Chain A
Amino acid sequence: MNFFDDLQTYAFLQKAFTTSIMVGIICGVIGSFIILRGMALMGDAISHAVLPGVAISYMLGINYFYGAVFTGILTAFGIGAITQNSRIKSDSSIGLVFSAFFALGIILITRARSATDLTQILFGNVLAVRTSDMWLTLAIGSLVILVVILFYKELLVSSFDETMAAAYGLRTRFIHYAIMFLLTLVTVASLQTVGVILVVSLLITPASTAYLLTNRLSVMVILSAFFGALSAVIGLYFSFLYNMPSGPVIALATTGLFLLAFLFSPKQGVVVRKLKTTNRKKFA
């Protein structure tokens, strides 16, 4: 059985392949902004919180996209409302809101009696990607990339120095919720590939890997997208070859790349830094 031969033969594999590459890219792009803004937990929260939306869509017989986006946005606002209007810190309010939504989602899905769907939503099943899912991913991906290109300046300044951005008149809260909206879209697009539980790995890990390798945001975003796509390909390859679930394998692929950067990054790498200090001591 050869992955690349089969890739040419089977349409389902082609769909899985293109979709997961697209998901890897857009998760990498949006993930860069998520980690720089210190919202890694928020990514985790939104991804879990789309679950009740998916369940409700399923019950109503509509595309899961609508329900997922709805509860995703609701979560972002809920967390914002608690943080701004009480003394609860943001990490606590994130945990508070998303666990509630996640719990609700599990109950709703169980009520809808679709245990298979639950596993699929939780862990993804990239080989079952439908053509419509692929187009949806393409549409979301194009939107995300377009927004990032058009508003790169504003995203940069508001992520780096939000107070300065607000002082010169940028609507920073609007930008925050716009990013939350994109994050929700990206999460929905990733459902089939990695599932809600592991979306966070594609959001955070490739971006963190890129973060260790560069001092420029633009380079970081591109590297992160590249690592996301590469992890998706590696993950899909091994999951196909050894018949393992795609989501976890993709997640571990992102971790593998991160470990390489963590150890060997020219500036930040643990091994490289160690070598430098030993050299310095030698010549001292």
Chain B
Amino acid sequence: MSDQICVKDISVSYYGTSVLEDVSFTFDSGNLVGILGPNGAGKSTLMKAMLGLIQKDKGTVAVNGKPIKEVRQQIAYVPQRSNIDWNFPITVKDTVLLGTYPKLGLFHRPKKEHKDWAMRCLEQVGMQDFAKQQIGELSGGQQQRVFLARALAQKADYFFLDEPFVGIDVSSEEVIITILKQLRDEGKLVFVVHHDLTKVKHYFDELVLINKNLIDAGPVKEVFQPEKMTKAYQRPFAMMEGLEVPLS
């Protein structure tokens, strides 16, 4: 049996208002999974609930049958760019070095080998020339690449990215999606919260389509269908024709 993440009956509410209801799906490693849905559908919430970062009303998440708590070191998470204080006194290189912390554990400091590894991750995203700059001095796309480098530095098996393509330049987007596809080909499992419908077919193998409830989860060609998309987005499908949603 290959590695997998199994989400079962997750429900989340904020102050009594239900945000997610009974969401279930299972994916094997070696997949690039897009989490799709309209604004306020609970995409980020779903990701945070999967990672145990927020309280669930009910439901379980199992990574190879184990609870998330026991596999945290194999998980890399890239938060939304808007959640980061870009004025924080930290350089690009030191940001990537944070990725080595989980496996270092308490009381151990990063050594030369860790710093070299951080540099190699930075090279993978093409940001090595910016190593000594403060992170706030970079463009949005560059910042996102640095955070992907940090995730790579974690040597994780499971990757979670919250809206990595928002507000970034085309070349950064290409660098990021190429690396995500590489990770998939190496047998990792990658989840990406996404809301731009135009490139869904080119980016992902599998989709989770939600709008509070799970609309569908599975291969892109099954999920990315007019009736399901209309159901999720609650608006006439014609609006999405230009967005390369298959018509038949």
Contact = CB atoms under 8 A, between A and B. Distances in A.
Contacts of B154: 168
A94 to B, nearest CB: 19
Chain B binding surface, main DSSP class: mixed
A97 interface: no
Interface stretch (A18-26, A106-114, A157-165): A157-165
Contact of B51 (A38, A150, A154, A167): A167
A211 B87 CA distance: 9
Contact of A168 (B73, B79, B83, B134): B73
Classify chain B: how many residues form its interface, as a range: 20 to 34
B102 interface: yes
- Which residue, of B53, B88, B89, B134, has the highest number of chain A Cβ atoms within 10 A? B89
A150 B107 contact: yes
B53 A163 contact: yes
B79 A215 contact: no
Classify chain A: how many residues form its interface, as a range: 20 to 34
A153 B100 CA distance: 11
A160 B53 CA distance: 16
A220 B79 CA distance: 25
Contacts of A169: 69, 72-73, 102
A154 B106 contact: yes
Nearest to A150: B107
Contact of A87 (B15, B69, B72, B89): B15
Interface in A118-175: 150-151, 153-154, 156-157, 159-161, 163-164, 166-169
A166 B89 CA distance: 20
Contacts of B94: 216
A153 B104 contact: yes
Contact of A214 (B48, B83, B89, B98): B89
